[in-house]
Amino acid sequence: MTDAKTKSSNYIIYMILVVAIGVITASTGDISQTMLSAAAGGGLFAALCMTKRKIWASLIPVIATPGIVYLMTRSLDCTALSLSFLPVGLLVYYGMAKKLSRMQTVIRVLGVMLLFYGAVQAVYVYVLFGSLTPETISKFVELNLDVFRIFYSQLREFYIANGLEIDKLFTEELIEHVIEETRVMWFGYALAAFGVLGFVSTAIAKALCKKEGAFPKECGDWKLVFSKVGALVFIFAYIAGNLYSSETEGLYLAFAINAICFGLSPAVLYMGASKILGKIRASKRTSALITFLIAISVFGHYVLLFMLIVGIYVTLTYEEKDAVSPTEEK
């Protein structure tokens, strides 16, 4: 009886957390915050659906969250953003209920977040320019790049005003170079971010469902395993990215190559990191993490390249009998 009451209170806690996270982030109108909300709230919502398979339990956050946000802000934009957890949560729930692999689930979450926030941005483009065409989308991208340009220019002026000798290092040319790099990488950044958020949502749902005894046994350990085909695609894209650039081959090839490289890199890095952590005793992992962070700050590019090489090797040599990584047990 006591256990049943505890589980009942847990369902209520999950519902309150989903609503609270959605309301707090959406009421700010900050899209980046709602992306984090989609991952955390989506994981909680999926756990709620798995542990309390009744229609009322899932409907309460879906109705309450946008309702509260609308009453607070009177903004349709914020109201729509408050439901970012819903498609993520439904897909994570579907992945567990249908015993899909964790990678399949993460890819689905990545796709639905891309569609959801793509639709949000499309509405912004339409409101700003009165139409949704390749030309207006390009104008919208350039408008956002101008925001970066203004930020970097103000940062440079701030440093100079405070007596820092960076006038020759932090030049206008460097700012423009950063802008051009961002122009061909922004979609890849989005894919990488959505992939990481998809992993976070599955991790939350998995942990809560295991705690409640609602995690499907058929899913096993629900390890995140990158495919060998994906690793080969990453290798070819990485090589192509070092052979071609937007200056020599035009914008679109570099844009596509960066989308592939950045979109797949979190999975490759995860495979490498989980393998290395698996070789380190639990008592030594904190010091190993500190050492890694120091190495990143000093030798950044080379450390990441090493991790990518390890990740590719682990992926291409992975066998199902391999031990569960320590990060997957969390």
pLDDT per position as a tens digit, 171-218: 777 777 778 778 888 889 999 999 999 999 999 999 999 988 889 988
Instruction: Retrieve residue 330's tokens.
Output: 């969390």
What does the alpha-carbon distance between residue 122 and residue 134 come to, in Å, rounded to a whole number? 11
Would you state the pLDDT for residue 179?
81
Q: What is 105-167 written as a DSSP string?
A: HHHHHHHHHHHHHHHHHHHHHHHHHSS-SHHHHHHHHHHHHHHHHHHHHHHHHHHHHTT-S-T
Higher-confidence position of 165 and 210: 210
What single-letter DSSP state applies at residue 169?
Answer: T
Q: Which amino acid is at 287?
A: S
The mean predicted confidence, pLDDT, of the chain is 83
Q: In which band, very low, low, confident or very high, does the pLDDT at 2 lie, cut at 50, 70 and 90? A: very low
What does the alpha-carbon distance between residue 224 and residue 195 come to, in Å, rounded to a whole number? 12
Tokens 């992993």 found at: 199
Positive or negative: CA dihedral 32, 253, 107, 199: negative
Instruction: Retrieve residue 96's tokens.
Output: 């567990």
- C-beta contacts of 91-95 below 8 A and 24+ residues apart: 91/42, 92/42, 92/43, 92/45, 92/46, 92/201, 92/202, 92/205, 93/45, 93/46, 93/49, 93/50, 93/205, 95/202
Residues 6+ apart with CB under 8 A from 176: 149
Would you state the pLDDT for residue 319?
79
Residues 6+ apart with CB under 8 A from 73: 26, 27, 29, 79
Residues 6+ apart with CB under 8 A from 59: none
Q: What is the pTM of this model?
A: 0.84
Would you state the pLDDT for residue 14?
86
CA distances (Å), 72 to each of 69, 212, 252, in order? 5, 34, 42
Question: Looking at residues 71-88, what average pLDDT do you find?
Answer: 92
pLDDT digits (tens, 9 = 90+) for 41-53: 999 999 988 886 6
| Whether 155 contacts 161, CB under 8 Å | no
Q: In which band, very low, low, confident or very high, does the pLDDT at 330 lie, cut at 50, 70 and 90? A: very low
pLDDT digits (tens, 9 = 90+) for 299-320: 767 888 888 999 999 999 987 6
The proportion of the chain whose per-residue pLDDT surpasses 90, expressed as a percent, equals: 39
Residue 80 three-state SS: helix
